[in-house]
Structure 1
Amino acid sequence: MQVMRRYNRKWTKQDNNINRFRSELNHSCQGESEAIITQENTPLGTLIEYDGENKKHFKVTSQLFKTFSKEQPFKNFTWKTCAVVGNGGILVNSSCGEEINSAEFVIRCNLPPLGDNYKKDVGNKTDVVTANPSILLEKFEGLTELRRPFVERMRDYGDSLLVLPAFSYTANTPVSLRAVYTLQEFGSPTRAVFFNPRYLRSLAKFWTARGLAGWRLSTGAMVASLALGLCSDVRLYGFWPHPLHPHGCQPLTNHYYDDKPGTRAHNMGAEFEHLLRLHEKGVVKVHLGKCSADPR
C-alpha cells in the first residue's frame, strides 16, 4: 500500500517543525482565544455569523449570552501530551486504551461509546468530547421528549467539556441549546460549550491554503487542529479512513463500535493525507495498528 510506504513507525518528534506549524496555525486561527464562544469574545448584542451558511446570523440575546462560557477554557495553557481519538475501525483489537488514557489531555469525537467492551482499545479518559447535532437528533430524538438517555450517556465522559457546533448551521442552534439546558437541569458535571464559527471559518481557510479545499472539515480534522494549537505533543488514534487494515489488509468496520457509513460531506482520504504529511515531518504522531506497551 503506497500510503504505508510513507508511514514511519519509528516516529521522531521534530520540535522545530512543531513550533513552526503551531505558530502558523495560531496566527491564522487564534485557537487559544477564539476556539470556543465566550462572553469575552462574543458580547451581548453580537450578530453571530454561521460558518456553514452564507448570510445567516443569530443575535446574542441576554438569554443566549448566559449559556456562553465566561472565559476561554483553553486560554494561556499548553498541555504536554494530547490524544485525539477518532472512531475508526482500526482501533478494534489495537490495545491502545492504556496509551490513550496516559495522555495529559484527551479529545474524543461525536459521543462514542466507552463501555467495558471498548476500554482496552480506546480507553475512557475524556477531557473534551464533541457532538454533532445530527447525533442528538438520531439517537436522542433531538432532546424534545425523553432526555434522560442523553444525560446517562454523558456520564461516560465525566466532567468533560461537551463541544457543540451550535452556529455552523441554523438547524444546529435549537438542539444545541436543548443539550445545554438538559445538562443543567439534570445537574450533569459535563459542561456544554459552543465552537466559535469565526474560529471554524479561519480553520477552513487555513487548510484550504494548504490544499485541502472543496470539502467541509470533519469533526476529527477540527479537533486535531485544535489540539495542534494547544499541545506540544499530539497523538492521533482511529483516523485511518480506508476499508482495509494498513498492516494485515483485513477488512475493517467503519467505526470501532459499528459499521454504519459516515457522511459524504467530508473528504476523509484527503484529510488523512495532510495528517500523514505532518506525521512525516514529526509534527503529529498518527497511530496505525497496535499500540506498544510503552506509550512514550
Structure 2
Amino acid sequence: MKTRMLCLLPVILVCSFCSVAFWFFLTNNNVITRPVSKIPQKGSDASESCKGCKDSVLITKALENYSSKWKKQEANFKKFRSLLSSKCHAVSKAVVTQSNTPLGSNVVYDGERRKPLQVTPALFSIFAKEQPFRNATFESCAVVGNGGILSNSSCGQKINSAQFVIRCNLPPLGNGHEQDVGNKTNLVTANPSILHEKYSGLMDRRRPFVESLRPYGQALLLLPAFSYAHNTPVSLRAFYTLEDFGREGPLPVFLNPDYMRRLSKFWRERGLNSVRPSTGLIMASLALEICTNVHLYGFWPFNKHPHDNRSITNHYYDDRESKKNVHSMPTEFEHLLKLHKQGVVHIHLGDCQPNRR
C-alpha cells in the first residue's frame, strides 16, 4: 500500500501544479468572471455617447441629401404649392377673421376638440376684418428658425434682403445678433408659454412686454390663441395689452385652428406623426403658399455643426432644449430636406457670404 501511494505522489503533484498555474494565468489575463454590468441609465455617459452616435448617423444621412449648390425646380415647386394650397388654404384660413369665423359660430380648438368656444360679440370684435394674405404673393420670403447654427453665420444681410421675413417665438434681435439673423420682421409668432415664462402671463406689469416687441416694428404678431383652451386667456391679454398701449408695436392676429387641423393632416399623410407641427414647420408651410421663393435659415436640429462638427447650442441665443414629446425636429427636417433636394425650398446651412454692394 505504501509503495502504491509513492507511485501516485508524482501524479498528484503535477495536477496541483497545473491547477495553480491555470488560475495564475487567468488572474493575470483579466478573464476571471465578473458580475454583468447594468444597462446604462438615461443621463449616463454611456447613454449620452449612444445619443451622440445616433445624431452622427442622422447628420451623415442629412448631409448626403443636402447640396449647397441649390437650384429651384419650378415644376416641383408649383406642384407642391398647388397640393398644399388645395389642402390647407392658408391665404383664406391661416388667420382668424370675421369672415371665416362669424359671430355666433364655435371655435374648435385644434388641440382639444371637446371644448369649443362660442364667438361672442366681444371676441368677434377683435378678429381681423380681412385676411392679411388675401392678395399677397411675395417674391421672396425668409423663414428664420432659431437654431444655434445661425451663431456666427453672418446671414443677417441675406435675411434682411427678403421681401417678407418670418420669425418664430419672439427671438431676440439685439445684443449683436443682427449680423447673424438680421432685424427685418414682417411676421413673428408668440408661443403662449413664452408669455407665461418671460412676462408672468401678463398678470403683472405689462409695459416690459410691449417694450420687448419694439424690435419687430409693425409686424404681424401671430398668436395661437385657439390651439388649447388654456392658451386663450393669455393670448387675449397680449392682444388687449397692445391695444391699451396704443398699438405701439406689432399688430396681433390669431392663428386659425381650422388651418392647423388641415396642416397637421397634410403632414401626417406624408409620414410626420408628431403631436403637432413645430412653429418652424408651420411657418415654412405658410411661406410656401404665399411666397414665390422660400428660404429657410436656422433649421438644423442637431448639436453639431454640419461643416466642421463643432458643438453648437440649441438656439442662437441660448441652449434650452425644445419639447421632444410634442415636436419631432429631426423628422420634420427630413421632410424639409426632401423639399430642398427637389428644388422647392432653399435651406441655408452654415455661413453666409456678406452681400457685396
TM-score relative to the length of structure 2: 0.81
Secondary structure of the 2:72 match is coil
Aligned length: 295
Q: Distance in 2 between matches of 1:214 and 1:250?
A: 29
1:44-63 Cα distance to aligned partner (Å, 9 max, x none): 01100000113121110111
Counterpart among 228, 232, 235 of residue 288 in structure 2: 228
1:71-110 Cα distance to aligned partner (Å, 9 max, x none): 0000121000000000000000000000000000000000
**Greater CA deviation, 214-223 or 85-94?**
214-223
Secondary structure of the 2:171 match is coil
- Aligned pairs for 1:114-133 (under 5 A) are 114-133=173-192
Counterpart among 303, 320, 333 of residue 272 in structure 1: 333
Q: In 1, are the aligned partners of 2:91 and 2:133 still within 8 Å (CA)?
A: yes
Give the aligned partner of residue 241 of structure 1: 301
Give the aligned partner of residue 258 of structure 1: 318
Counterpart among 28, 34, 50 of residue 87 in structure 2: 28
Secondary structure of the 2:330 match is helix
Q: Distance in 1 between matches of 2:249 and 2:171?
A: 18
Give the aligned partner of residue 19 of structure 1: 78
What letter matches 2:350 in structure 1? G
Q: In 1, are the aligned partners of 2:210 and 2:249 still within 8 Å (CA)?
A: no
Q: In the alignment, is residue 284 of structure 1 matched against residue 336 of structure 2?
A: no
- Aligned pairs for 1:1-296 (under 5 A) are 1-187=60-246, 188-264=248-324, 265-294=326-355
Q: Distance in 2 between matches of 1:49 and 1:22?
A: 26
What letter matches 1:236 in structure 2? L
Which sections of structure 2, spanning at least 5 residues, go unmatched? 1-59
Q: Which has the higher contact order (CA 8 A, sep 6+)?
A: 1
Secondary structure of the 2:129 match is coil
1:149-202 Cα distance to aligned partner (Å, 9 max, x none): 110111010000000100000000000000000001111231100000000000
Deviation at residue 234 of structure 1 after TM alignment: 0.2
Q: In 1, are the aligned partners of 2:157 and 2:355 still within 8 Å (CA)?
A: no
Structure 1 residues 163 and 149, CA, compared in 2 at 3 Å: closer, same or farther? same
Deviation at residue 213 of structure 1 after TM alignment: 1.6
Secondary structure of the 2:177 match is helix
Q: Distance in 1 between matches of 2:173 and 2:78?
A: 33
Secondary structure of the 1:234 match is strand
Q: In 1, are the aligned partners of 2:216 and 2:249 still within 8 Å (CA)?
A: no
Q: Distance in 1 between matches of 2:335 and 2:61?
A: 15
Deviation at residue 262 of structure 1 after TM alignment: 1.2
Q: Distance in 2 between matches of 1:2 and 1:268?
A: 15
Deviation at residue 237 of structure 1 after TM alignment: 0.3
What letter matches 1:112 in structure 2? P
Q: Distance in 2 between matches of 1:109 and 1:74?
A: 18
Q: Distance in 2 between matches of 1:54 and 1:69?
A: 23
Deviation at residue 294 of structure 1 after TM alignment: 4.5
Give the aligned partner of residue 38 of structure 2: none
What letter matches 2:347 in structure 1? V
Q: Distance in 2 between matches of 1:216 and 1:117?
A: 33
Q: Distance in 2 between matches of 1:51 and 1:205?
A: 11
Deviation at residue 116 of structure 1 after TM alignment: 4.0
Deviation at residue 292 of structure 1 after TM alignment: 2.3
1:8-63 Cα distance to aligned partner (Å, 9 max, x none): 10000111111101100000000000000001111101100000113121110111
Secondary structure of the 2:229 match is coil
Q: Distance in 1 between matches of 2:316 and 2:121?
A: 42
Deviant stretches of 4+, over 3 Å: none
Q: Distance in 1 between matches of 2:113 and 2:305?
A: 39
Secondary structure of the 1:83 match is strand
Q: Distance in 1 between matches of 2:251 and 2:274?
A: 33
Indicate the percent of aligned positions where both proteins have the same amino acid: 58
What letter matches 1:220 in structure 2? G
What letter matches 2:75 in structure 1? N
What letter matches 2:168 in structure 1? C
Which sections of structure 1, spanning at least 5 residues, go unmatched? none
Q: Distance in 2 between matches of 1:283 and 1:179?
A: 35
Q: Distance in 2 between matches of 1:173 and 1:116?
A: 32
